[in-house]
């Protein structure tokens, strides 16, 4: 259990603590980093007992590691049905690294334009970062009060754009595109931040004209420190001179993902995770589970007579992150909800974020959360609501 500082008496869970009471098993609904499926965690543990050295201390140029890298690519390709004309990179720098890498690689000069569809926290940050290196044309659906409750119209893109940027699941705001847009063959290529939903639904690579899609690993495909970047082979080699090598698609592709020391252990974790996704039935199965899990929680909210509420209308509700308030955001009841959840091992519903404490809690239902674990949250939410009647 977390130690609160001597000067405060705040309950650890209200301070963002992620450790439940000693004898209770944790179910981690954090928005990221989050748990991996149990079988994946077991297989990761087993790598430490393998006859070969752990990938934590394998040279990134050793034959053992080259095999791990090949596996990571193979299972990623299989899990996501990546066509042959795309390169797969495991890079550094997380989602934010790609906020910079995308404009640096795809806008050849600071005068180049790109359309940024902004429908939440992360796409807004990406557009701000892009403005350091080029001219983003922002189409935003931000409301006057700073919230997001709809999507901008993608068809209004600027035709001179080098690319059209979007985030397919806005993790903080709880807005998801269940399918990527198909803007037609004459539209600029689509660049997608899939950090919090990649692998959880099918991708139509050609129809959606995907130029680049990326995901930081810490939501659905691994742990923090690795960014999966998938790049169509006509999209690299146009970078600005100032593009750092570590973020440069061309340099990393030409160096076969070993331009500098790759994140060896993270790549093995993602290889194991992608293998698990393939074995379970890949994107169609992950999507099926996501629909089941998110429906369970949204149904409780919708049938609660307003005891719980969620900000987004049905057609855009995220299957990955379910924001909800308790008793209209009443602080005392919300805190009681969090503490009693914690007592049952249900954690991560309110984590510390750079975006402050809003009235919404958030249940994140990534690949590492099972249907049974979601059932526990559902039962708890019903039980808590009943106790307040
Ligand atoms: C978490 C997240 C990010 C930020 O990723 P970092 O690895 O922390 O840089 C970016 N985009 C989306 C959609 C996310 O969910």
- Model pTM? 0.96
Helix (H, G, I), strand (E, B) or coil at 113: strand
Res 169: pLDDT: 98
Our answer on whether the CB atom of 31 is closer than 6 Å to any ligand 1 atom is no
Our answer on whether the CB atom of 121 is closer than 6 Å to any ligand 1 atom is no
Res 185: pLDDT: 83
Res 7: pLDDT: 58
Q: What is the CA radius of gyration of the chain?
A: 21
Higher pLDDT, 201 or 35: 201
Distance from Cα 225 to the centre of ligand 1, integer Å? 11
231-240 residue pLDDT tens: 999 999 999 9
272: tokens are 């194991």
Residue 230 pLDDT > 80: yes
Residue 208 pLDDT > 60: yes
Our answer on whether the CB atom of 122 is closer than 6 Å to any ligand 1 atom is yes
User: How far, in Å, CA of 295 to CA of 123, rounded?
Assistant: 25
Beta bridge partners of 73: none
Res 354: pLDDT: 75
Residues noted as catalytic: 122, 193, 219
Torsion angles phi and psi, residue 348, rounded to 5: 85, 10
Higher pLDDT, 160 or 5: 160
Res 357: pLDDT: 74
Residue 5 pLDDT > 60: no
- 66 Cβ partners below 8 Å, 6+ apart? none
Q: Give the sign of the dihedral formed by CA 273, CA 279, CA 282, CA 285.
A: negative
Distance from Cα 6 to the centre of ligand 1, integer Å? 33
- 249 Cβ partners below 8 Å, 6+ apart? 87, 89, 101, 105, 212, 229, 231, 235, 236, 237, 239
Helix (H, G, I), strand (E, B) or coil at 224: coil
169 Cα nearest atom in ligand 1: 13
Res 52: pLDDT: 82
Our answer on whether the CB atom of 196 is closer than 6 Å to any ligand 1 atom is yes
User: How far, in Å, CA of 148 to CA of 119, rounded?
Assistant: 6
46: tokens are 């087993």
30-60 residue pLDDT tens: 999 998 999 999 999 999 988 888 899 999 9
User: Among residues 279, 255, 194, 240, which one has the least CA distance to residue 66?
Assistant: 255
Average pLDDT, the chain: 95
313-337 residue pLDDT tens: 999 999 999 999 999 999 999 999 9
Res 25: pLDDT: 93
State the pLDDT confidence band at 2, using cuts at 50, 70 and 90. low
269-321 residue pLDDT tens: 999 999 999 999 999 999 999 999 999 999 999 999 999 999 999 999 999 99
334-380 residue pLDDT tens: 999 999 999 999 999 998 877 777 789 999 999 999 999 999 999 99
């Amino acid at each position: 259990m977390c130690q609160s500082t001597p000067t405060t008496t705040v309950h650890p869970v209200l301070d963002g603590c992620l450790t439940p009471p000693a004898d209770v098993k944790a179910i981690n609904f954090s928005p990221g980093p989050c748990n991996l499926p149990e079988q994946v965690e077991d297989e990761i543990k087993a790598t430490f007992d393998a006859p070969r050295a752990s990938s934590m201390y394998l040279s990134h140029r050793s034959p053992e590691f080259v095999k791990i890298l090949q596996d990571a690519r193979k299972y990623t390709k299989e899990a996501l049905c990546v066509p042959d004309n795309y390169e797969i990179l495991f890079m550094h720098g997380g989602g934010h690294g790609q906020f910079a890498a995308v404009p640096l690689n795809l806008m050849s000069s600071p005068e180049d334009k790109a359309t940024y569809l902004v429908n939440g926290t992360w796409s807004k940050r990406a557009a701000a970062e892009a403005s350091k290196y080029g001219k983003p044309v922002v189409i935003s659906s931000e409301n006057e009060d700073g919230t997001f409750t709809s999507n901008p119209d993608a068809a209004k893109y600027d035709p001179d754009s080098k690319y059209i940027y979007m985030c397919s699941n806005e993790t903080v705001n709880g807005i998801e595109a269940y399918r990527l847009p198909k803007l037609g063959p004459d539209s600029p290529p689509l660049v997608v931040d899939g950090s919090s939903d990649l692998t959880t639904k099918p991708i139509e690579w050609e129809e959606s004209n995907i130029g680049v899609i990326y995901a930081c690993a810490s939501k659905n495909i691994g742990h923090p420190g690795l960014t999966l970047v998938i790049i169509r082979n006509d999209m690299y080699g146009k970078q600005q001179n100032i593009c750092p090598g570590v973020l440069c698609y061309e340099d990393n592709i030409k160096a076969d993902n070993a331009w500098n020391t790759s994140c060896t252990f993270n790549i093995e974790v993602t290889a194991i995770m992608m293998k698990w996704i393939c074995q379970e039935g890949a994107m169609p199965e992950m999507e099926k589970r996501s629909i089941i899990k998110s429906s369970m929680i949204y149904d409780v909210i919708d049938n609660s007579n307003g005891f719980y509420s969620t900000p987004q209308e049905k057609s855009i509700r995220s299957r990955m992150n379910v924001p909800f308030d308790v008793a209209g955001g009443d602080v005392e009841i919300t805190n009681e909800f969090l503490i009693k959840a914690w007592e049952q091992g249900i954690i991560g519903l309110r984590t510390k974020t750079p975006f402050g404490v809003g009235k919404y809690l958030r249940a994140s239902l990534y690949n590492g959360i099972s249907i049974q674990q979601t059932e526990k949250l559902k039962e708890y939410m019903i039980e808590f609501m009943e106790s307040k009647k």
